Amino acid sequence: MKRLTADQVKIGFIGLGNMGSRIAQRLVDHGYQLSVYDMDSLKAEAIAAHGTVVARSIVELTSTVDVLLSCLTNDEAVQDVYIGPEGVFTATRPGTVVLEMSTISPESSRDLHQLGARGGVEVMDVAISGSTPAAELGTLTLLVGGNRELFRAAKPIFQAVSKQSFYLGDSGSGTAMKLVVNTLLGVGMQAIAEAVVLGEKTGLDRERLLEVLQKTAVVAPAHMGKLARAAVNDYSPQFPMRLMNKDFQLILKAAAAEQFAMPATEAAFRINSDEHANDDEQDFSAVVRRMEEIAGVHAA
């Protein structure tokens, strides 16, 4: 299988949101010829100014590329884009490679792989771990499920957009690993929120408390920057609350299918859902503010 280098393949990209636009720009910066599509034409035109071609439809895009990447909101969006009457699978040529980067259920990833295989299309789930700043810097972590040989061939693309990529196994393994990772991300943020409020309630200075927490070994790197932003009450979205809420639902659905309970995750999901109902476009770290409100302490 040929390596998917910039001089060998033409890439199509669907979904130019906060993550997708940054990943697409990384590919352009690494010399890849890119065609893009987004339902919001303004998003497509914005990145076109940096050296991409804008397709007028998914069919037009899909019929002209060797490799297709997509970064979409949820299972429903992925199904619509790929399986809909004017979706990807109506126009893909045999031999096309699909690197599907959305956070969806492992079942959806496996279904997509099977549907693609019927038309000679190789689909891999390439789940993303990291925030929008990491996407911009090319320091994401990629969690990949599917064909091992294709994983090796796709390394040039992965290296353009990430710091590291891991092969997890058959189709659905990448998205399953993403649910594992985001369990720790979401539950860890809730634990931090509760710990911060405990400190405030017992009389610790909030600013000093958050500063010291950042220097301890118990706070994961993914949460480190959240503490600095919480210190100035900045909950602008790097990873929006609505996406963490969606991931919690995927996690608990997967657990229910395997018939085991996740009590800490269920509790974190309830608080996340309360804040999600208040403002779904803020960062998921806004559970800190939610816990402060519940406890009756107010950030300066």
The two tokens of residue 259 are 């018939």
Determine the pLDDT at residue 186: 98
Label residue 300 by pLDDT band (50, 70, 90).
low
Query: Under a CB-based contact definition with an 8 Å cutoff, are residues 34 and 53 in contact?
Result: yes
Determine the pLDDT at residue 299: 65
The two tokens of residue 86 are 């004017």
Cα–Cα distance measured from residue 119 to residue 114, given in angstroms and rounded to the nearest whole number: 9
Map out the domains of the chain as residue ranges. 10-170, 177-295
**pLDDT(85) > 80:** yes
Q: Considering only CA atoms, which of 121, 54, 42, 50 is closest in space to residue 88?
A: 121
Topology agreement, domain 10-170 and domain 177-295: no
Q: What is the pLDDT of residues 141-181, one digit of tens each?
A: 999 999 999 999 999 999 999 999 999 999 999 999 999 99
**pLDDT(49) > 90:** no
Cα–Cα distance measured from residue 298 to residue 189, given in angstroms and rounded to the nearest whole number: 19
Instruction: Give DSSP secondary structure letters for 3-66.
Output: ---TTT-EEEEE--SHHHHHHHHHHHHTT-EEEEE-SSHHHHHHHHTTT-EEPSSHHHHHTT-S
Q: Starting at the edge strand that comes first in sequence, how are the strands of the sheet with 10-14 ordered?
A: 53-54, 33-37, 10-14, 67-70, 97-100, 122-129, 140-145, 162-169
Helix, strand, coil fractions of the chain, as percent rounded to 5: 55, 15, 30
Q: What is the pLDDT of residues 220-279, one digit of tens each?
A: 999 999 999 999 999 999 899 999 999 999 999 999 999 999 999 999 999 999 999 988
Report CA-CA distances (Å) from 35 to 244, 260, 299: 29, 44, 46
Determine the pLDDT at residue 166: 98
E-strand stretches of the chain: 10-14, 33-37, 53-54, 67-70, 97-100, 122-129, 140-145, 162-169
Determine the pLDDT at residue 50: 82
**Diameter over CA atoms, the chain:** 65
Instruction: Give DSSP secondary structure letters for 93-105.
Output: PTT-EEEE-S---
Label residue 211 by pLDDT band (50, 70, 90).
very high
What class, spelled out in words, does domain 177-295 have in CATH?
Answer: mainly alpha
| Amino acid, single-letter form, for residue 115 | L
Domain 10-170 in CATH 3.40.50.300? The answer is: no
The residue count for the chain: 300
